[in-house]
Amino acid sequence: MLHACCGVCAYACINRLRVEGFIPVVFFFNPNIQPQVEYQKRRDAISIVAGALDVQILEGDYQPSDWYKNLQPYSQEVEGGLRCLLCYRLRLEESFRVSAKEDCDYFTTSLTVSPHKLSSAIMDIGKDIGQDNFLPFDFKKDGGFNKSIIAAKKLNLYRQNYCGCTYSLRDRNNG
């Protein structure tokens, strides 16, 4: 199971997993994404990618109020700080739970394809949650991010300009 944050990031990850011999199932679970119109744009993009690459897509519950309840105390954290680590954990815990429910042998995340994310921290969280069931792929290796950007242009995918939460949007607009 590939947890996917967006269509752009998922593209190269799906292809890489196939090269590695896996049959990926995409799990779109991102209660952090705000506003809802942004969530829908990213949901539409992941649907385009799933169709283009012929992969199954599952969607988790979109409950931003639960996300805020858990992470609002960390609203003043810097981008990439504790708030982000807790957000990764929340999404990876749900990905692990759903991957087990769906009888997937492994789970991983497209979050590591971004040059703006600390892949080693994401992989540590994934391994802490799922031990040997987590595949610690750094998808940005071998030009993964650039491959995703090329695919995004080819498929005319929506490409966001912030991580997803209102705090990252605030920091982007203030920085």
Q: Which domains does the chain have, with CATH numbers?
A: 2-174 (3.40.50.620)
Predicted pLDDT at 169? 84
pLDDT digits 0-9 by tens, 2-52:
999 999 999 999 999 999 999 999 999 999 999 999 999 999 999 999 999
Strand order in the sheet with 56-59: 56-59, 25-28, 2-4, 108-109
The tens digit of pLDDT for each residue in 109-151 reads: 999 999 889 999 999 999 999 999 999 999 999 999 899 899 9
Whether the per-residue pLDDT at 170 is higher than 90: the answer is no
Q: How confident is the model at residue 175 (pLDDT cuts 50, 70, 90)?
A: low
Report the distance separating Cα 78 and Cα 92, nearest Å: 21
Q: Which has the higher per-residue pLDDT, 98 or 171?
A: 98
Burial class (CB in 10 A: 0-12, 13-18, 19+), 48: middle
Q: What is the pLDDT of residue 101?
A: 98
Give the predicted TM-score (pTM) of the model. 0.95
- Closest by CA to 10, choosing from 95, 108, 128, 121, is 108
Please tell me which residue, 102 or 78, carries the higher pLDDT value: 102
